[in-house]
Structure 1
Amino acid sequence: MSADSVAAPRLSLNVRYNRNIQENSGEEEESQVKILEDEEHHADLGPQRARPHTQTNPAANNRRCFKATAVTLGGFYLLILAGLFIRFTLLQTRYDQLSNNNSQLQVNYSLLQSSYQTLSANHSQFQDEVKQLKDRTEVVKNCPHGWTSFGRSWYFKSEEEKTWSGSRADCQQRGADLVIINNKEEQKFVTELSKDEETWIGLRYEWTKGEWKWEWLDGSPLTETFWAAGQPQYNGYYAACCNQQGKWTQGYYNDYRKWICEKKIL
């Protein structure tokens, strides 16, 4: 009985306490119930709210990764563009240098071509001079006794006197003809060879092609003259060279004078 008696009061006390609590604080019970219900509701909603939050984390992570990747790629592209720009600048500089070098080479090529042409012309002239010297050497070496060489001809001055026609006949027998003076150099040579004597030369005044004119024996026109003052007088004379002033004079067909023959070698 002691055990039962002890237990019973405890039971009645608990009931009363609970009731008292229920009676005295009914509102608190309701609030506790509401609180519990809210807590249970929040407990139920907790996993639901947690799930979307956990579901949005990968997207945010993906966005962060995408941004990081975009920034990295952007930097990489900028580096590539910078490298390409530097490469382009270097290539452009190299191209400009090559273009300048090409222009300089073209100028040098033009100068070399001009130099080559000049050298070629000088070489041709040198060859001509060598040939002339060789011919001159041959002319001098083979010049017959009593003849004098000048240029590419041999000259013979007679020691006797004849008419113009007789003088020409003598020259032709020697394989030559009366001298024909073509330039100032030959005029000077003939003047020195005549030794201030008026010798017959191959110039005559005759009727040719419907008119009277002075003409050389080979038919060439008289383009350069060395007449003495007051000469020539156009009355059928023949020319002689030279007086003391080194000028041409005239003579009749029956005048006697010395003569100079010319034989062209080349």
Structure 2
Amino acid sequence: MSADSVAAPRLNVSYNRNFQENSREEEKEESQVDILEDEENHADLGPQRARPHTQNNPAANNRRCFKATAVTLGGFYLLTLSGLFIRFTLLQTRYNQLSNNHSHLQDEVKQLKNRTEDKSCPHGWTRFGCSCYFKSKEKDYWDGSRADCKKRGADLAVINNEEEQKFVSELSKDGESWIGLWDERRQAEWKWVDGSLLTETFWAAGLPLYDTYLSAATCCDQQGKWTQNRYYETKKRICEKKIL
């Protein structure tokens, strides 16, 4: 065998090894280039990904402001609605109370009216309002006239208002009659026989006068006014008794 034929395979093997080593080095270089490119791409994308978190977003801020405003307005609306509901409930309760009171008063008035309508005055007496009145034909002193009224379950008439004054004046149109008004202490302190004070008077002009004698009032003169007389004078009388 010749020397050339033996050396040829060694050269081939050596060439193959060099070729493989060169290929590996190229692959390493390509891999390093790919890694560098990836690192550059990550470096470029990093600020872009972080930008939404590091920079202000106007649209997001507007949405937050709108939500806060909506929550505030909603709370105010609920408070207003609650206040109105409470006020309505109180008004409704008050209305119901007033309505019940009104119904109760109507029932009482109706019952009172029924009781008064069912009762009539005795023979010889005249009814006005809730009272019966008796006009005597005979005359007597003031204290004797009062005693006679009490025997009849009444007392001398007490005049409380203008309507009653007109009624008593009609009963006395044929002459003055004793009524239940007198100066008990002879000091111009006139009182009614039931103990009540004068709240409305119908005295004739210039009356009453101070008198050391016991005085009492009569009704009425030609003008429908009260006159003043000493108790020992004789007059007719007007008695009054309540129906109820």
Is 1:225 the equivalent of 2:225? no
Distance in 1 separating the partners of 2:76 and 2:190 = 71
> Which residue of 2 is the match for residue 55 of structure 1?
35
Change over 3 Å in CA distance of 1:132–1:196 after alignment to 2:
farther
Change over 3 Å in CA distance of 1:65–1:156 after alignment to 2:
same
> Which residue of 1 is the match for residue 117 of structure 2?
137
Deviation sequence 1:55-110 (CA, Å, 0-9, x none):
34555566678778768999xx9998877666555544444443443344355446
**Equivalent AA in structure 2 for residue 170 of structure 1:** D
Give the unaligned 5+ runs of structure 1.
1-40
> Percent identity over the alignment?
40
Say what the alpha-carbon RMSD is for the aligned residues.
4.1
User: 1:218: Cα distance to partner?
Assistant: 2.3
Distance in 2 separating the partners of 1:63 and 1:190 = 119
> Which residue of 2 is the match for residue 151 of structure 1?
129
Change over 3 Å in CA distance of 1:120–1:188 after alignment to 2:
farther
Distance in 1 separating the partners of 2:198 and 2:114 = 31
Q: Is the 1:148–1:156 contact (alpha carbons within 8 Å) kept by the matching residues of 2?
A: yes
User: 1:114: Cα distance to partner?
Assistant: 5.7
Q: Is the 2:217–2:228 contact (alpha carbons within 8 Å) kept by the matching residues of 1?
A: yes
Is 1:215 the equivalent of 2:198? no
Change over 3 Å in CA distance of 1:120–1:82 after alignment to 2:
same
Higher relative contact order (CA 8 A, sep 6+): 2
**Equivalent AA in structure 1 for residue 146 of structure 2:** R
Distance in 1 separating the partners of 2:65 and 2:232 = 103
TM-score by length of 1: 0.64
Structure with the greater alpha carbon radius of gyration: 1
TM-score by length of 2: 0.69
Distance in 1 separating the partners of 2:22 and 2:181 = 149
Distance in 2 separating the partners of 1:59 and 1:92 = 50
Q: Is the 1:196–1:242 contact (alpha carbons within 8 Å) kept by the matching residues of 2?
A: no
Q: Is the 2:188–2:208 contact (alpha carbons within 8 Å) kept by the matching residues of 1?
A: no
State the secondary structure of the residue aligned to 1:53.
Answer: helix
Is 1:181 the equivalent of 2:159? yes
> Which residue of 1 is the match for residue 12 of structure 2?
none
Give the unaligned 5+ runs of structure 2.
1-20
Deviation sequence 1:108-147 (CA, Å, 0-9, x none):
4465456446545544543453344234324xx3322222
Aligned pairs, how many? Answer: 222
> Which residue of 1 is the match for residue 235 of structure 2?
257
